[in-house]
Structure formats: structure tokens, C-alpha cells
Amino acid sequence: MQAVFLTDFDGTVSQDVLLTIFKRFAAPQWEEAMESYKNGQIGSRKLYETVIPTIRVTQQEWHRFLYYHCFVDPGFAKLRDLCRQTATPLAIVSDGLDLYIRRMLKNADMEDVPVYSNRAAFDGDRINIAFPPLPEECPCGACANCKRAVCWQYRQDYPTRTLIYAGDGLSDIKVLEDVDTIYAKGTLAEYCQEQGIAYTRFENFNDIVSDMERILT
């Protein structure tokens, strides 16, 4: 089988890094905003607009925190290597921030993996965030980074390949109708189970690699 592999980051390739960052560096109101997000009252764009301006952290503190507290699933490197060997495009599709994703990939010697996410940069001890343009075809407009748009682009670029997606959370639910094969855990797995959507449950990327070796080789 020829395939494309797209994956979420927070809670999938790593622990929920954004939540860890909010707990450590954001003002207390982040909890109320996060609850509103989980309840569907606001989208991720509004969540970021509310919480990111309250974060106070220097770049040095940020790098140190990520190095000691936030890690890439060791099995993800195995998937990267398998995708290289089989010429399978691999990319991270996240509604999080490139500011921590790329740093964590660098710490894990995996800077070559493409990342589609929201963009962020330091301004002293503050963080400025920029959202990718929302496509006109986006039906909800609530997400900061439209994962469906990335799926659509890969579908256009590789029309004959099987589109595989791995995820765990609320933002991953929106891509289900755009992909062919789903690896799920957490909230995404619960949703697939409730809706009768076919998926393969995983706990870490070692589980996925074992399955992908059978599919791709």
C-alpha cells in the first residue's frame, strides 16, 4: 500500500504540552477558558487569544522547561524511519504552537518532520501568535489551524494514496471524514466508538509502527 501519514501532536506524539505550559506559565484564568473550550463554547482560536497574552516566560526558561519536562514518544522516531524507508510522506498537523513543537523535535533529533501548526514567536517574556489563514471551505471557522485544510492539500497532492491519521482529541474529530485510516486514543477514540466509526486504538507509536510495518512493507 502507498500511503500518507498525518498526525496530531499534543497527546499523540507527546503528552498534552500546551496544557502543561498553561499550568506552568499562564495566568489563572486559563482554566476557565480551557473549560469553555472543552464544552464547545469557544474554539481554539478564542482560547489562544484569551490565554496566550497572559503567559510570561523567557526564551531560555521555555527551552529549559521543554528539555526537562516535555518529550516526544520514542516510537515516533521509529515511524519516521519507517516512512523514510518506504517513501511515505509524514507530517505533523497540530492546532498547537510551532514554538514548542519544533523545539521538541529538535531535542529529539527529528527536525526534518514537516509541521503544520499555529506560529508563535517571543517578544521579550511574552509570546506573539499568528494563525494560518482559514480556507473558505472551512465549515466551522473555530479552529486556530484548520487541520482539514492540510488533509485536503495532501489529498490533492497524493490522490491515489491512502491517507492515514493519528490523533487523540477534540480538534482531530473534524478530520475524520477526510481520511481513510484512523489511529485513535483518548477523546477521539471515544467519539469513534460512539459514532460507529472504524478506527484502530493505540497507546503509543510503537503500536502504530507494528501495524504500519505490516501495511507498508
Cell matching residue 213: 510495518
pLDDT of residue 101: 98
**Res 142 pLDDT > 80:** no
Please report, for the domain that includes residue 188, its CATH number. 3.40.50.1000
Q: Across residues 182-208, what is the average pLDDT? A: 96
Q: How confident is the model at residue 84 (pLDDT cuts 50, 70, 90)?
A: very high
pTM of the predicted model, to two decimals?
Answer: 0.94
Which amino acid is located at 32 in the chain?
E
202-212 tens-digit pLDDT? 999 999 999 99
**Res 75 pLDDT > 70:** yes
20-41 tens-digit pLDDT? 999 999 999 999 999 999 898 9
pLDDT of residue 125: 97
Q: Is 41 exposed, middle or buried (0-12, 13-18, 19+ CB in 10 A)?
A: exposed
Question: What is the domain count for the chain?
Answer: 1
Question: Measured in whole angstroms, how far is the alpha carbon of residue 113 from the centre of its chain?
Answer: 13
Give the SS3 label for residue 10: strand
- Percent of the chain predicted with pLDDT > 70: 97
pLDDT of residue 215: 85
Lowest mean pLDDT among 8-12, 15-19, 57-61, 211-215: 211-215
**What range does the domain containing 140 cover?**
3-216
**Res 141 pLDDT > 70:** no
Higher-confidence position of 172 and 170: 172
Q: How confident is the model at residue 123 (pLDDT cuts 50, 70, 90)?
A: very high
Cell matching residue 28: 489563572
**Res 138 pLDDT > 90:** no
**Res 56 pLDDT > 80:** yes
Q: How confident is the model at residue 139 (pLDDT cuts 50, 70, 90)?
A: low
**Res 80 pLDDT > 90:** yes
Please provide the distance, in angstroms rounded to a whole number, between the alpha carbons at the two ends of the chain: 8
Cell matching residue 34: 480551557
Which amino acid is located at 6 in the chain?
L
Q: What is the DSSP letter of 145?
A: S
